[in-house]
Amino acid sequence: QKEVEQDPGPLSVPEGAIVSLNCTYSNSAFQYFMWYRQYSRKGPELLMYTYSSGNKEDGRFTAQVDKSSKYISLFIRDSQPSDSATYLCAMSASRDDKIIFGKGTRLHILP
């Protein structure tokens, strides 16, 4: 079993829809959770960073962590064509530990 599982998609939704992206993980030591966005032919860039369980909101983006279920989610409201990218979840057990990434979900927002 891989440490972090993420559906690769692709996921296609119409513009303006709410998008839900998810990851599951097996290592209960993970405490730091991140979502990165990667555009084609570019390196990933950080979108959201959360510690432990709970929700965090930043503009149209909301990250949720449920440590009891080992499940994290990213919600995108009012999705735009510019949100079309690959979204990678990432996790770490501590701030001086390596960051492990999921495989990424390819998202297409249809105009």
User: Residues interacting with other proteins, by CB under 8 A?
Assistant: 6, 32, 34, 41-46, 49, 88, 90, 92, 95-104
- Of residues 79 and 90, the one with the C-beta less far from other proteins: 90
Least separation in angstroms between residue 103's CB and other proteins is 3
Closest CA to 22 of 99, 108, 102, 109: 102
- Of residues 2 and 110, the one with the C-beta less far from other proteins: 2
- Of residues 44 and 83, the one with the C-beta less far from other proteins: 44
- Of residues 11 and 17, the one with the C-beta less far from other proteins: 11
Closest CA to 7 of 21, 27, 26: 21
Least separation in angstroms between residue 54's CB and other proteins is 15
Q: What is the DSSP letter of 95?
A: T
- Rounded Cα distance, 12 and 34, in Å: 22
Length of the chain: 111
Least separation in angstroms between residue 98's CB and other proteins is 4
| One-letter identity of residue 91 | M
Two structure tokens written together for 50: 């959360």
Half-sphere exposure of 47 (CA within 13 A, CB side): 25
Least separation in angstroms between residue 17's CB and other proteins is 25
